[in-house]
Chain A
Amino acid sequence: MIRTSGLTKRVPTSEGELTILEDVDLHIESGESVAIVGASGSGKSTLLGLMAGLDTATSGEIWLDGQKLSDMDEEQRALLRARTVGFVFQTFQLLPSLTALENVMLPIELKGDPGAGAKARELLDRVGLSDRWHHYPNQLSGGEQQRIAIARAFATRAGILFADEPTGNLDTATGGKVVDVLFNLNREFDTTLVLVTHDERLARKCGRTVKLVAGRIAGEEAAAEVAHA
């Protein structure tokens, strides 16, 4: 489903070139759930962004859903995102000018699929916020906003879900609830999940953990307790 080989990202800074990622080889199977962990600044978000096609690598190759991302331009990547990718971010990233419902409908409409309203309502129901559909993001708590974001991520039935510290801005209890929702939907739709996190417990819920240290993969371990294995 996702494959990177020799992935390297360097950025120019005032003190010369800075290497953020170096020679990252990663293979993620369809339906797999992978946690990317590491210290702050180790390059987790950068790797996620590259795999999702939000940015371009300095060198190396990325395949996403059978297509070679590194050969595409931003337009083509956008179309690919529309079809295959969903996101959940640490800072939620809902459109403040749209209601909860409209936020969830947005990707469906952009993809051009019919029945956006019904689908969105159903998803809102699934994340437990069906009664808040007409509220705007700034009228909702962080946890609620994140659940809307999750509903939005699943709205187009995308095959791959990228999540960057989805619980980073939430307290433990709220975070737990959000994680439950995320994994439930993930299981139900059989989505490939790539999750960046600091949270050990959250990482352990994934089938595999990849550890980044200073931009290099320092080790991988399969989670022992993956139930359905």
Chain B
Amino acid sequence: MPDAAQPDAAQLGAHSLLIVAWRLMWRDWRGGELRLLFLALVLAVTSVTGIALFTDRLERALMLESANMLAADRVLHTREPAPAEINAEAVRRGFRTAGTLSFTSMAFSDSGNMLVAAKAVSDAYPLRGEVITTQRPFTRGAPVAHGPPPGEAWLESRALPALGVEVGDQVFVGETELTVGAVIIAEPDRGQGGIVDNAGPRLMLHMDDVAATNVVQLGSRVSYRSLFSHDDFDQLDEFEQWVRDTFEGNYYIRDVREESEEVAEALDRAEGYLLLGSLFAVLLAGLAIALSARRYSERHYDYVAILKTLGCTSGRISAIYSLIQLKLAAAAVLLGSVLGYLVHEGILRALQASLQVDLPPPGVQPYAVGAMTAFICLLSFALPPLLALRETPPLRVLRKDLTQTRFSDRIPYAFGIGGSILLILWYSQDLVLTSLLVAGVAGTGLILSLISLVFLTSSGSAGMKAGNAWKLAMTAVRRRRRQNVLQVMVFSVTIMSLLILGLLRTDLIADWQAQLPENTPNHFMMNITGSQVDGIEAFFADNAVDSNAFYPLMSARVRTINGSEPESEGEPGENERGASLVENNQFEEAPAADAEAAPGSGESAEDEGRRVRGRLSRRQVTWATDLPVDNRVTAGEWWPENSRPGLISVDEEYADWLDIEIGDTMEFEINQQFVSAEVANFRSVRWDNMQPNFFIIFSPGTIDHLGGTFLSTVLLETEQKLLLNDLIRQFPTIVVIEVDALIEQIQNIIAQVSSAIELIFGLVLVAGALVLLACVSASLDERFHENAILRTLGAGRKLILTSLLIEFTFIGIVAGVIATLGAEGGLFYLQEWVFEQDFNLHYWVWIAGPAAGAVLIAFLGVNSTRKVVNTSPLTVLRRVV
């Protein structure tokens, strides 16, 4: 008859199971056993949801903010009007579109004239960001969402005094007369484009007025920009692809990353860091969950055995514990989502100062990500040890030593590892990165466990004579060796994660600050003749502005290398694209490829080839006595003060590309004269610092006599910009390129990204603390019992406390050492391969790591085990029996 009774009993049980599950849970909760597990779960959900929400919104905000730099989401830059189909297709796809046309021109008024960077804009301009205008020069402005209407010209502040006009007066551009309608204080895409957009103050006019000026004719240097905008990021990418496919690479639509290498790098690194941060947060939370679940299940072996003697089947045991977990997870997801929202809201509040854009509201996806993560964590970290409970033999009620010893013992690890891999893959969407990470972690884990095993076994004999507490501690360390190896591993992984993120954060931020420090010169002066140099220096001295070095500037062509025609190896280094402002803004006759401009923006393969040849044949070169700041000699030596002429210094990547070695002789043609020079050294050049940078520098005396012009930079605050008018009036031939707007935008983005990184780090710090706590508590039960027995045997509180202190300090130091080793290794990989930074050893960490480990673990350990000593032994023994 048992067959008939079975389903019956199972059915009847459903309700009572729930009751039992509730009751067990409630009591475990009050006893604090479940609380740590719950806390770990909540933390996982909170950090993941918080980071996901934050990243989601920040990414959009950064995209929007950086889109402001383009006044659009995507830009097509051409030298001739772009084909109408492109615009038509964009409109068909629901894009917003606009167009601008830039050219350099003279503007006249009744009382003056000046060179202006003219820019004609269509009605819809700007698609992103706003133009800030006002009625009087150098005053605060208010944003408007459009450009000038037909018949109006808007001028940048300093153009008004230079032309002697006010708002409402007339100015002439070419053959047409325009009314000054407003003063431009800021323009979203002011930093974009080359020299045509940046030489002289801005004069903005309506597209319809361009024809009447008669300035733009066939062959004149103008630049067209077609602007596109859409709120759906995917649509943007699809459109970009469509243009590439349809026009076979002749036209190439770019986003801000492609337009500005500096922003691209900042965004890439920030995203990389956020990803790394959330990964570490999840893994640490997972670790905390695994640890607390393990402890929880260990405490429940006896429960299960008793339940089994009372007739509970394995299925029902699983059901009870799954129910408990489900309820716990549901509550954790709810609470974690709310907390995650609050955390990200708090982060944004803190960021408000530097965030100038309105953030789009968050989607639901981050919450789903948080909940999913919680369930994956639970399934892979918590459920396996709990489900293994079902294997507990009921005979355990008679024989304590019996636990399940079958395969299920290893399952939790397999699940945990599988779950982690799944999470990493899901987060990074990158199979290669995942495999690398898994291989790295597996290798590190193996080495770590070996090292910690050796550390813990060899320690025993060292301090046997050093007194009772020491002896007690060391025997404890060895007795709990396996458990301690686990503990040391958890501690070191946690400390390592924190070290990696902390050091990476410091290095990234320091690197950004070094890239564009506060006092980065923001104006370039070009076309300066030798006789003007002293005058310009005096001009700045009179006006209390610091002047910077003057770089002689000449256009040189490489004729031969060691007597033979140069041959380049493969593609030029990737820095070629961004090169320097100097290289991009060549003022002399531009290389053929550039001037004759293929219809596209010069990105087709054929074009690229032509450009490479152009690059090879024409270089802006300089000569200098001292190594430029931000440059580093990587091979050979910089020439001494009074060096002989005939030496050159070459950018290392450029040298690599041309396959040059130190000691080679290169022959150049400069201003129709041939000059030979010996390669004295290679330099690494910071191309992203927005300063004059050169591929080739001659030693003094080599090319000085060949003429050429000078280039210099100057830092002008907004209120000093009026000086430019006087400067240009005194030295009418020089050209000033204004990059202040661009630099400010980049600095802004970098500031935002830096604060984002700080906050993510803070969140991971909390996760780490929780892991440490979970790990310490995991060993608590045993210590409780042991110390109660020790105390009944007459050991004093002080002895026990000291021994605990020694034990934890020791574990902390070992963990700290391993963590430091691991962190430096991890950083080496991350900085060299992922973040493309220079890796340097962090010497202070070699002391600080182990010290921090010791202090942290000792504090946490002693603090949470103090209870062990402060509760009466009787209570402890009674509870445990």
- Residues in A with CB closer than 8 Å to B12 are 111-113
Contacting pair A75 B309 (CB below 8 A): no
- Residues in B with CB closer than 8 Å to A76 are 2, 6
- Residues in A with CB closer than 8 Å to B309 are 52, 54, 81, 87, 93
Q: Mark B396-409, 1 if CB is under 8 A from A, else 0.
A: 01110000000000
- Residues in B with CB closer than 8 Å to A138 are 878-879
- Residues in A with CB closer than 8 Å to B302 are 93
Residue in B13, B303, B315 whose CB lies within 8 Å of A97? B303
Q: Which of B17-25, B425-433, B694-702 contacts A (4 or more CB under 8 A)?
A: B17-25
Q: Which of A101-109, A124-132, A171-179, A184-192 contacts B (4 or more CB under 8 A)?
A: A101-109
Contacting pair B303 A95 (CB below 8 A): yes
Q: How far is the CA of A94 from the CA of B306 in the complex (A)?
A: 8
The answer to whether the Cβ of B16 comes within 8 Å of any Cβ in the partner chain is yes
Contacting pair A82 B311 (CB below 8 A): yes
The answer to whether the Cβ of A224 comes within 8 Å of any Cβ in the partner chain is no
Instruction: Say whether, besides A82-B311, A110-B20, A97 and B28 are in contact (CB < 8 Å).
Output: yes
Chain A residue, CB-CB nearest to B308 = A78
Q: Mark A196-225, 1 if CB is under 8 A from B, else 0.
A: 000000000000000000000000000000
Contacting pair B311 A110 (CB below 8 A): yes
Q: Mark A70-103, 1 if CB is under 8 A from B, else 0.
A: 0010111011111101010101011111100010
Q: How far is the CA of A79 from the CA of B11 in the complex (A)?
A: 12
Contacting pair B307 A110 (CB below 8 A): yes
Q: How far is the CA of A97 from the CA of B399 in the complex (A)?
A: 21
Q: How far is the CA of A74 from the CA of B313 in the complex (A)?
A: 8
Q: How far is the CA of A82 from the CA of B311 in the complex (A)?
A: 4
Chain B residue, CB-CB nearest to A46 = B398
Task: Write the nearest CB–CB distance from B285 to chain A, whole angstroms.
Answer: 26
Q: Which of B302, B315, B397, B399 has the most CB of A within 10 A?
A: B397
- Residues in A with CB closer than 8 Å to B19 are 109
Q: Which of A94, A102, A106 has the most CB of B within 10 A?
A: A106
The answer to whether the Cβ of A49 comes within 8 Å of any Cβ in the partner chain is yes
Chain B residues numbered 712-728 whose CB sits less than 8 Å from any CB in chain A: none
Q: Which of A49, A67, A97, A107 has the most CB of B within 10 A?
A: A97
The answer to whether the Cβ of B605 comes within 8 Å of any Cβ in the partner chain is no
Count of chain A to chain B residue pairs whose CB atoms are closer than 8 Å in the complex: 110
The answer to whether the Cβ of A45 comes within 8 Å of any Cβ in the partner chain is yes
The answer to whether the Cβ of A55 comes within 8 Å of any Cβ in the partner chain is yes
Q: How far is the CA of A80 from the CA of B11 in the complex (A)?
A: 16
Interface size of B as a range = 35 or more
- Residues in A with CB closer than 8 Å to B15 are 112
- Residues in A with CB closer than 8 Å to B9 are 79, 82-83, 111-112
Residue in A87, A98, A112 whose CB lies within 8 Å of B23? A98
- Residues in A with CB closer than 8 Å to B644 are none
The answer to whether the Cβ of B881 comes within 8 Å of any Cβ in the partner chain is yes
The answer to whether the Cβ of A144 comes within 8 Å of any Cβ in the partner chain is no
The answer to whether the Cβ of A164 comes within 8 Å of any Cβ in the partner chain is yes
Q: How far is the CA of A164 from the CA of B315 in the complex (A)?
A: 27
- Residues in B with CB closer than 8 Å to A96 are 879
Contacting pair B23 A75 (CB below 8 A): no
Chain A residue, CB-CB nearest to B11 = A112
Contacting pair A110 B13 (CB below 8 A): yes
The answer to whether the Cβ of B393 comes within 8 Å of any Cβ in the partner chain is yes
Q: Which of A52, A54, A67 has the most CB of B within 10 A?
A: A54
Instruction: Say whether, besides A109-B19, A111-B9, A79 and B2 are in contact (CB < 8 Å).
Output: yes
Contacting pair B306 A75 (CB below 8 A): no
Task: Write the nearest CB–CB distance from B344 to chain A, whole angstroms.
Answer: 37
- Residues in B with CB closer than 8 Å to A83 are 5, 9, 311
Task: Write the nearest CB–CB distance from B32 to chain A, whole angstroms.
Answer: 11
- Residues in B with CB closer than 8 Å to A82 are 9, 310-312
Contacting pair A85 B311 (CB below 8 A): yes
Contacting pair B311 A78 (CB below 8 A): yes
Instruction: Say whether, besides A55-B393, A98-B27, A111 and B398 are in contact (CB < 8 Å).
Output: no
Q: How far is the CA of A177 from the CA of B550 in the complex (A)?
A: 106
Contacting pair A112 B13 (CB below 8 A): yes
Contacting pair A49 B398 (CB below 8 A): yes
Chain A residue, CB-CB nearest to B315 = A75
Task: Write the nearest CB–CB distance from B531 to chain A, whole angstroms.
Answer: 93
- Residues in B with CB closer than 8 Å to A89 are 397-398
Q: How far is the CA of A152 from the CA of B311 in the complex (A)?
A: 13
Instruction: Say whether, besides A75-B315, A138-B878, A109 and B31 are in contact (CB < 8 Å).
Output: no
The answer to whether the Cβ of B395 comes within 8 Å of any Cβ in the partner chain is yes
Chain A residues numbered 123-145 whose CB sits less than 8 Å from any CB in chain B: 138
- Residues in B with CB closer than 8 Å to A81 are 308-311
Chain B residues numbered 86-116 whose CB sits less than 8 Å from any CB in chain A: none
Q: How far is the CA of A110 from the CA of B306 in the complex (A)?
A: 12
Contacting pair B310 A107 (CB below 8 A): yes
Residue in A80, A93, A106 whose CB lies within 8 Å of B397? A93
Task: Write the nearest CB–CB distance from B109 to chain A, whole angstroms.
Answer: 90
Task: Write the nearest CB–CB distance from A167 to chain B, whole angstroms.
Answer: 16
The answer to whether the Cβ of B314 comes within 8 Å of any Cβ in the partner chain is yes
The answer to whether the Cβ of B826 comes within 8 Å of any Cβ in the partner chain is no
Q: How far is the CA of A199 from the CA of B31 in the complex (A)?
A: 38
Q: Which of A74, A87, A91, A112 has the most CB of B within 10 A?
A: A112
Q: How far is the CA of A85 from the CA of B24 in the complex (A)?
A: 23
The answer to whether the Cβ of B394 comes within 8 Å of any Cβ in the partner chain is yes
- Residues in B with CB closer than 8 Å to A67 are 2
Chain B residues numbered 642-659 whose CB sits less than 8 Å from any CB in chain A: none
- Residues in B with CB closer than 8 Å to A45 are 398-399
Q: How far is the CA of A87 from the CA of B303 in the complex (A)?
A: 15
Chain A residue, CB-CB nearest to B309 = A87
Q: How far is the CA of A80 from the CA of B20 in the complex (A)?
A: 20
Contacting pair A107 B311 (CB below 8 A): yes
Would you list 12 pairs from A and B whose C-beta atoms are within 8 A, ordered by A residue? A54-B309, A55-B393, A75-B315, A76-B2, A76-B6, A93-B305, A97-B28, A106-B307, A112-B9, A112-B16, A113-B12, A116-B16
- Ranked nearest first, the 6 interchain pairs of A and B with the lowest CB-CB distance are A82-B311, A112-B12, A97-B27, A109-B16, A81-B311, A78-B313
Residues of A within 8 A of B (CB): 45, 48-49, 52, 54-55, 67, 72, 74-76, 78-83, 85, 87, 89, 91, 93-98, 102, 106-107, 109-113, 116, 138, 152, 164
